[in-house]
Each structure stands twice: as structure tokens, then as C-alpha cells.
Structure 1
Amino acid sequence: MNTNATARWNPGFAFRILALVVAGLLVTQPAAAQSGADVARAYREAHEAEIVRDFAELLTYPNRARDLEDVTRAAEYIRDELQAVGVTSELIRIDGVAPLVYGELRVPDAERTLGIYVHYDGQPVDPLNWTHPPFEPTLYTASMEAGGTPRSMPEPGDPVDPEWRLYARSAGDDKAPIAAILPVLRAFREEGVQPTSNLVFFFDGEEEAGSRHLGRYMEMAADRIADIDVWLFFDGPAHQSGRPQLTFGVRGSMGMEVTVYGATRNLHSGHYGNWTPDTGNILARLLASMKDDTGRVLVDGWYDTVEPLGAEERAALEAMPPVDEALKRELGLVWTEGEPETLSERILLPALNIRGITSGNTGALARNIIPNTAVAALGIRLVKGNEADHLRRLVVEHIEGQGFHVVSEDPDMETRLRYPRIAKVTGGGGYPAARTGMDNPFVQEIIGAAAAAADRAFGPGSLVLAPGLGGTLPLYLFTDVAGKPAVNVPVANHDNNQHAPDENLRIANLWYAIDLYAALLTMPITAF
């Protein structure tokens, strides 16, 4: 209807309306139905304490990736919770492997199918390093760093402060999405809201152990996931600025170990120092040859296979909020590798890092010896265009170029006496990187729905679009193997202590996740 105050009066139109009223043909139109996002928001506001308590219950289930008994109990609990909100769900099993929680919610006449990936397993824990037991969720009035203090769980009807933090293993990585999707589906069921897409849930139980069987699980469910149009990965943190983000790719990951050799046994440093080869020094020099003082990797060909960004990705990169100076102050850093390139730019390049070095002992355990070996663990992050085998070969060639004979097993005496410098190289494989183009029409729909949810939760223009995420997820199985687009949809606070002691989730981020998922599950069908 035209609501312009200058609209002209039309007697003929008025007469027709009056005639319809007299004839009883004018039916009062019902008020516009609430959107799915409105329904989910209203449900959350009415049940905040219950949602927090349900999240805490989920966090009580131990989920160490390699503990099959514990992780199976967690899977069974999640399966049952999905069933309770109307999802047809089951456990798909491989003997001796964490089960896959599979679920479906089919919508009559839906023209699109969304695949939703979450992992429910978590990193190992050392309880001695935690303030509270890692599987006894503890609610704080704010982050520990900000002076928050423990408080009791809210009772139904109690107000919930969005700045509260819930501390437990997997609070941020990656049970938070499960705790958010369940109330969304419960709200939809109670209010009769149907998603606009078919939904397929694929909950991985061994992501933190490398998702070694995920490809096989995908093969076992191939006929049930064939119609999926796009995968949404519910994992990862918000942008370091604190603003919500979408990411369209992840780095790959590979680990290698390099061992250098001296004498056949440890030798007394007084009797043999300055004579026997010093393995720690040999290894240090080898490692130093791999990067310059600015952090640039000096391995020949290291950057040659990086796939260039598209126009949309370059524009998104330029529009990302600056965080480097604030992060440097937060982390106590005066300089960073690759300056003046930003963190957002650096995570789009392959990385070579030293994860650990061993050669003898330090502190109270240090002994007056020359260790017979020194070992370095290398952490390599791949980007789109890199292949793990290729980068591994480049590292091996670099080591050979530094005068080392490279072996794959400990050298025998004949080899020791033949080559002055020997390096054993092991490891490799891991995940390749993956990236979905931001120009994909369905991706554009996801961006629109996510932007609306972000605006509602954090204010206008708050959503950050990042071409890549620094971490690693098994996206390649979905993008490269299955040939489907995938978008990563992070919700955890960036300071959630992911993988570390005192992992936590800020309650405001849980509320945002509910808004976001409701918007995504009720997106209009316009992309196809």
C-alpha cells in the first residue's frame, strides 16, 4: 500500500473497497508471520538460563579425540539431543573409530540442501594446568584475565549476563555450535517454523586426531549426502577484532621431524667437548638456514605454488579491520614476521615453524654431556595451491643442500662412517588447504544471511569477510574430493583459549550463534 502522505484520493478505488466490504468479500489479513530469526531470538530470550545449563551439561561429557569410550558416550548424548528436536539421527560406526553422528531434517519441497559439519571431539587435557577440572564446567562473571569470578549456574528465569564466560574443554572448540543449533531447532519445532533447506548434520568425532576416517565415513554415507548444495563448517573463532566473521578457506597442515646425529652415544662434555660434533649447534644452524631474520622462508620454491586470490577475496582482504598493533600489545610483541604485511595477509602464505626442539636436557635435569642426537619438530601450514608431498620434497632438498645425507631411518655404522653430516627426516602427509570462491552465488546468499545476523547481534556492518582461516579443518574432503562449496562459520570468541587450558566461551557469542544459525537455516531460496 502507498503510505505517501501526498498520494491522491481515488473515489473509484474507495467505492470498490466499500463494495467488497458490503459483499463480505474483504477478509482481514493476518499479521506478518515472525521470521525464523525472530522466533529463535524470542525463544532464547525466554530460556537463557536453560540454554546455558544445557550447554554446561554437554560440556560434562569427556571427548578426548583418542579416548574411544568417552567420545562414544558424547556421541550418543548428541544423537539423542538431535532426536529430541526433530532430527532423524544415528551413529555411523567403523570398528575402533570414533562414531560419526549423522542427522537429517528433510523439508517438503525444499529446493536446497545444507550440509552442517561440526566436530564434537576435543584436544587432550592435563588437569594440573587447569584452574578447574576441564570437564566440570565453571561459569565466571567475566574472563579470568578481566578479573571475573566463579558463580553458580543460573536458575530458570534468572537474568544472564552476555559477558559471562563458561570454562571447560571444547567450550569454544567445538561444542558451542551444538549448544546453539539445538535451541534453534527446538524453537522452530515449537513455533511451527520450517527451515528453507533440507539439513544434513555431519558431526565428526576425530577432527582433533586428524579426521583420518572422515573420508571413509563420507563414502559410507555417499548416497545420503549426494544432494548437498553447500557445506557449512561450524568451527573456529571470531575475528581478532572481536567482530564476527565468515571465512572461505583454511590452511592445510603437515608435520615433519628432523634428527641430526653426532657420536653413537652421549659423551662427557669435559672429556670430549670441542672435539665431538655438537648436535644442538648443528641442528640450530640447519634450522636457521630455513628462514631469514624477517621470517621469510628460504627454502627454494616455497612460495611458487600459492594460488592467487580472486577479485572478491582481494577486496575482502583490503576491507578487513586492522588488528596487528592491538594484538602486538596484547601479546607483548615488538615485531612480527613479514612486516609490514598484516596477520590477515600472512596466513594466506605457507608457513614453516619450529614446533619443538630437543637435545639433552635443561634446568635441573641438564647434564654435562654432548648429546648424540638433536631433534626438531617442524610445523608446516599449507595454503591453496600447495601440495604436502611437494613442500616436503622442497624441505628435504634444502637439507641436502646444506650438506646433509638424508635418511628415513636411524643410520647404521656403515652410513655413519661414510657421511659427515646425516639427517633423518620423517613425517609428512596431513591435510591439504582448501578455499571456496566468494563469487559463488550460494556463498553470496550465506554472506547476506550472516551479515543480517551479525548486524543484529553486534551492530551494523560488523561482519568480517576473511578469504582464509589460519587454522586447519578437513574442508578439502568436501571441496576438492566431493566437489562442493564450503563456508566456514565461526562463532567462538577469539580469546577462547582454543586447545589450551581454561578454554572458554563468552555467552554473547553463544547468543550470536543462535541468531546466525536461525538466519542461515531460513535463508530465502534465490541462489539457484
Structure 2
Amino acid sequence: MKHMIAAMAGGFALLSGAFANDTEAAVAAARDWRTAHGADILSGFVDLLSLPNDANDAENIRRNADYISGLFKERGFQMELLESDEAPPLIYGLRETPGAERTIAIYVHYDGQPTEPAEWTHPPFQPRLYSRAMTEGGEEISFPLAGEAVDEDWRLYARSASDDKAPIPALLAAIDALDETGIGFTSNIKLIFDGEEEAGSDYLDDYLAAYADKFADVDLWLFCDGPTHQSGSPQLVFGVRGVTDMEVTVYGPNRGLHSGHYGNWAPGPGWRLAQLLASMKDEKGRVLIKDFYKSTAPISKAERAAIAAMPDIDDELRETFGLAETEMDNAPIAERLLLPALNLKGLKSAEVGALSRNVIPPSATASIGVRLVKGNDPEEMLNILEGHIKKMGYFITREDPDADTRARHPLIAKVTRSSGYPAMRSRMDDPRVSPLVGALRTVAGDELILNPSLGGSLPLYMFEVASTAPIVILPIANYDNNQHAADENIRIGNLFYGVDAYAAVLTMGAN
């Protein structure tokens, strides 16, 4: 069947400009297809998930790239592996639609987080099917045979089942459904599949610059990554936060001292660090550092309206996470994600528990993370943090202090900075996005949530440099997918939602 569809794909593409596509018919076709071929979709997904995909494993990453490229080539895409000696291949594909006046670029990353097999219930690259989530008492079941029914509450467990291979079988199924029924695309479709996202996408900007001509005509970037809303409802997201960080080490004596002999005399670096950190943020969660919020882009009227329309999940989240109160007197999480955040990633000063000793240690270190929002420059935000440390009386150094530096400065802080990257947020009222919203409402109806920004970070700023097209994120994975952790999973109903959603995207109307 797959090869027959591939042979028919070109002919169907020629038909697509000849008539106005009906997104509702496309979604209905996708639902019929996945109902009839659900077992086949899972079988193909298992084959893909069985390929290890750590970005640092060059041999297996190449196997993934070749395999995925072949799947889309069968479906009428012109495929290329864009190569670099320094990075995994960037998979590029193009399927043109005669008469189309819009080009949509679909981004997925095919690499996954490293795994520690001992932490998993089953080997991470040997997919297993469960009747429902393990945490809900689900039991392992056999994979269905061709033609057998598939339950949407089943869970498929494997590395990258949700982050981020899930969009690939969903998109393939949507294409198969449209091709079999002769419902043509309404846009040119480009594929950009990244093989190093979990390793930081260090070379992605190089690819975008080297092949700028391939991306110059993109009218809409669609990023297929991340989870649905915590309420369980589908969402379309218009931005992500940026990120940067620094480590701050403060000093006491040049060697560990017995706290009985020297306590109350030699300053303890743990206390110094605690006082420094306490000066940065008050008990309500407001950052006290001068100008920390100054560069933050205002929340637009459209964004405020979107926040007001979102489900109120804060009470449920507080109960889930065992929190009696959250920052700024329980301010809504959607609002808080549009402000820069100062997070304490880790602290180190001597030892605790059974390893603790009566010692004044030589140093104490804090790892500080900054989540950025639109308007914040990563370097300038670190400058602001350093300015505050200086204001608190510290002499800043980049190396451990020598004896002369110790003799001249009572308060010393070694600051190690990271580069980071800025946030990205597209306009929610951009008319180029309106057809996408309408198409997705065909699938999700009033349940579709329009979200100004995810809390997490992705280097989407690179794509703002590559073109002026709006960038939006269409997540399909269940929010409880154990992303980046052991026993990562995808709920089958979420995978099937992706099939429907991509069918809508491929056939959405004109601006």
C-alpha cells in the first residue's frame, strides 16, 4: 500500500491546485485513515524508535537521517541530507504544490536525550506498549495486528516517543490519508529535521546561513515539539523563553578550617553566598536586581486576551506539586512565563547529612539560571547580574583568586558566564497565522488554546534571523510524557491528534 501511495503522490499533487480543498474533509479523511491503519502506524513508529538517536552517536544518528529521509522520499518529497563535518545531518525536504501561494516549513528534531538504561523499566530503544500509563497501573500488552482496533489511552514507551519523533509518524499518516483520498495540499511544504537539538543545536545557525536560499521563501515556520497544555487540551504556542546562566563562587579561608577553633572569626562562604542570593529576590518571588525587568517587552492586548481565555490550572498544579502557595501571591502561571525568571539551579558549600563536618570551607558556589523573555539580551542580563554582585561589595574575578587578590579584597566572587540565547515570540494577531488557527479549530474546536509562550527554551531566534516569517509551535505530546527522563512515552490519542492536526495544516485555506 505504501509504495502504491508513493507512486500516486505526484499525480495527487498536480490535482491540488485545481480545486479548493476542504479542511473538514481532510480531517475526516485523516481520522478514517488512522482508524483503519492504527496498527500499521504503531508498527512503523516502533521501527523508527528502535534506532538509537543520541546526537553524539554519529553512526546511529546517520542511520536515523537516512531512514527518515527515505520515508518522506516515498511520499513524493525531494529529500536532501545537508552535511557538515561538525554536526549531524540536517534533513531537508520539499514537496511543491502547483498553484500554491504559501510555503510552510515544518521543523522536527530527530535526536533524543542520552539514556541511562538502568533507570528504565525496559530498554529505552526496545519500544513497549501499555494499556495506560505505568503510573496509573497500566500493564504491558502486545502490539495490535494489522486491522485490529487501537485504544487511544494506550501508551508507547521508548526514548523519543514524545520528544521528538512523534510528529514524524503522525505527519506520514496525514500525508498517506490525503494522498489516498486525492485531497491535495494547499501549500508548498518544506521539512527541516534537526539532528542535534538535544545537544544544543550548536551548528543549526551555520546550516541556516549556508543554505539561506532554501529558507528565503518560507511564509510560516511550524515547530512540532513540546507537550500539550497541562489541562490536557491542544495548544498552539507563539513563543519560547530564552536562557542564559552563570556560576558564582564566593570565598572564605584559603583552606578548610575547624569551626570550633575558627567559627565566629573566619567568615563562612556559605553564609556570604546565602546573603548575596537573598539580596537578589524577595520572599514573594520579585527579583530585586536593578533593571532586571527593564528590557522586557510589554504584554500585548492579544496576549492578555489569550491568557484570560486559557483554562485556570494553577490550583490543580499547586496540588500536584505539593505547593500551598506560588510566587507573587499565586499570580497565574501563564502571566509569570512572560516575565524573565531568576532560578537557583544548584548550591554547593561543603557537605550535608552523614558527610557533614565541623569545617568552614574555602568556597561556596551557586549555579544561577536566567529564563529570558522577548526584549531581554542574554549578555546584557548577565551584565545586570554582575552589576548587582558588584553593588553588594564584591570584587569580580574570572579565576580563583591568588594570595594578592585575597589580601586586597575582603569580598571576592568568581563569575563564570554562559552565552545563552534570546527568547522568541511571534505576534498572536499576525494575519499570516490566522488560517492555521482556523484549520486547527477544525480539529480541536473551542478546546484549542492559544498560548503566548512556552516556559521552556528553544533556539528559535535562529529562524527569526533566517527569515521574517512568523514562528509558531504545534505540540502534540501528552504533558505527562516523561520528557528527557526514564520511561518516556506517548499517549496514542495524542499521536492520533497529531495525524488530524497535520492533515488540517496541509490543507488549510488562504490568508
TM-score range, shorter chain: over 0.9
TM-score by length of 2: 0.92
The alignment partner of 1:442 has SS state of coil
Q: Which amino acid aligns with 1:298?
A: L
Q: Is the 8 A contact 1:114 1:228 kept in 2?
A: yes
Residue in 2 aligned with 1:290? 280
Tell me the residue number matched to 2:474.
489
- Could you say which residue in structure 2 is the equivalent of 1:200? 190
Cα shift at 1:286: 1.4
Partner of residue 428 from structure 2, selected from 416, 434, 438: 438
1:226 corresponds to: 216
Partners of 2:24 and 2:390 in 1: how far apart?
Answer: 66
Inter-partner Cα distance in structure 2 for 1:171 and 1:34: 28
CA contact (8 A) 2:23 2:439 kept: no
Letter in 2 for 1:327: L
Structure-1 residue corresponding to 2:506: 521
Matches within 5 A, 1:78-93: 78-93=68-83
**Secondary structure, aligned partner of 1:223:** helix
Deviation of residue 506 (structure 1)?
0.8
* Residue 153 in structure 1 maps to residue 143 in structure 2: yes
Q: Which residue of structure 2 aligns with residue 19 of structure 1?
A: none
Deviations 1:188-216 (A, max 9, x none): 33333321100110011111222111111
Alignment of 1:378-397 (within 5 A): 378-397=368-387
Instruction: State the AA in 1 paired with 2:429.
Output: D
1:88-103 to 2 correspondences below 5 Å: 88-103=78-93
Contact between 1:357 and 1:374, CA under 8 Å: does it hold in 2?
A: yes
Distance 1:366 1:452, change over 3 A: same
Structure 2 residue 454 is the aligned partner of structure 1 residue 469: yes
Partner residue in 1 for 2:4: none
1:105 and 2:90 equivalent?
no
Q: Does 1:343 align with 2:333?
A: yes
Quick check: which has more Rg, 1 or 2?
Answer: 1
Report the equivalent of 1:500.
485
**What corresponds to 1:14 in structure 2?**
none
Report SS of the residue matched to 1:254: strand
More moved, 237-246 vs 72-81: 72-81
- Tell me the amino acid that sits aligned with residue 460 of structure 2: L
* Higher deviation after alignment, 432-441 or 370-379: 370-379
Mark the CA change 1:62 to 1:267 in structure 2 (over 3 Å): closer, same or farther. Answer: farther
Residues 171, 503 of structure 1: 8 Å contact kept: yes
Structure 1 residues 228 and 504: CA distance shift in structure 2, 3 A: same
SS of aligned partner of 2:106: strand
Please state how far the C-alpha of 1:395 moved relative to its aligned partner: 0.5
How do 1:1-150 residues align onto structure 2 when only pairs under 5 Å count?
Answer: 35-150=25-140
1:124-523 equivalence runs, <5 A = 124-455=114-445, 461-523=446-508
The DSSP-based 3-state class of the residue aligned with 2:47 is: helix
Q: Point out the more displaced range, 84-93 or 236-245.
A: 84-93
Question: What percent of counterpart residues are identical?
Answer: 52
**Alpha-carbon distance between aligned partners in 2 of 1:304 and 1:253, rounded to the nearest angstrom:** 17
Range 413-422 or range 118-127, more displaced: 118-127
Which whole-Å CA distance do the structure 2 matches of 1:33 and 1:363 have between them? 61
Structure 1 residues 416 and 182, CA gap change in structure 2 (3 angstroms)? same
Q: CA deviation at 1:172?
A: 1.6
Amino acid of the structure 2 residue aligned with 1:390: E
Deviation at 1:35, TM superposition (A): 2.6
- Give 3-state SS (helix, strand or coil) of 2:456's partner: coil
Partners of 1:522 and 1:33 lie apart in 2 by 6
Assess, with a 3 A threshold, how the Cα gap between structure 1 residues 364 and 98 changes in structure 2: closer, same or farther. Answer: farther
Residue by residue over 1:5-53, the C-alpha shift from the partner in whole angstroms, topping out at 9 and shown as x without a partner, is xxxxxxxxxxxxxxxxxxxxxxxxxxx9983222222211111011112
Deviation of 1:105 after TM superposition, in Å, equals 0.8
| 1:421 positional shift | 1.2
Deviates more, 1:99-108 or 1:264-273: 264-273
Q: Distance in 2 between matches of 1:277 and 1:354?
A: 23
CA distance in 1, matches of 2:69, 2:172: 11
Q: CA deviation at 1:228?
A: 0.8
Equivalent residue of 1:90, what SS? strand
CA-CA distance at 1:425 after TM superposition: 1.0
CA contact (8 A) 2:212 2:466 kept: no
Partners of 2:182 and 2:262 in 1: CA distance: 80
How much has 1:404 moved relative to structure 2? 0.9
Which amino acid counterpart does residue 279 of structure 2 have in structure 1? S
CA distance in 2 between counterparts of 1:131 and 1:473 reads 29
Whether contact under 8 Å (1:39, 1:191) holds in the other structure is: yes
Q: For the structure 1 residues 347 and 192, does the alpha-carbon distance in structure 2 shift closer, same or farther, using more than 3 Å as the test?
A: same
Root mean square deviation, CA, Å: 1.8
Deviations 1:243-295 (A, max 9, x none): 00111111111121111122223334444444333222222221122111111
Name the aligned partner's letter for residue 281 of structure 1.
W
Aligned residues: 490
State the SS of the aligned residue for 1:35.
helix
SS of structure 1 residue aligned to 2:329: coil
**Is the partner of 2:432 in helix, strand or coil?**
helix
C-alpha distance in structure 2 between counterparts of 1:230 and 1:86, whole Å: 21
Gaps of 5+ in 2: 1-21
**Per-residue CA shift, 1:351-405, capped at 9, x if unaligned?**
0101111222334444443322221111111001111111101110111111111
Deviates more, 1:197-206 or 1:367-376: 367-376
Distance 2:395 2:249 in 1: 12
Q: Which amino acid aligns with 1:513?
A: G
Give the aligned partner of residue 6 of structure 2.
none
Report Cα offsets for 1:136-189 as digits up to 9, x if no partner. 222111112211111222221222110111122222211111121111122333
| Length-normalised TM-score, structure 1 | 0.89
- In the alignment, residue 100 of structure 2 is paired with which amino acid? A
**1:466-523 Cα shifts (integer Å, max 9, x gaps):** 1111111122122255222111111111111222222211111001010000001101
Asked if the contact 1:492/1:509 (under 8 Å) is kept, the reply is yes
Tell me, in whole angstroms, the C-alpha distance in 2 between the residues paired with 1:53 and 1:329.
38
- How far apart are the structure 2 equivalents of 1:424 and 1:319? 45
8 A contact 1:478–1:485 mirrored in 2: no
1:71: how far off? 2.3
Verify the 8 A CA contact 2:216 2:466 in the aligned structure 1.
no
The residue aligned with 2:13 is: none
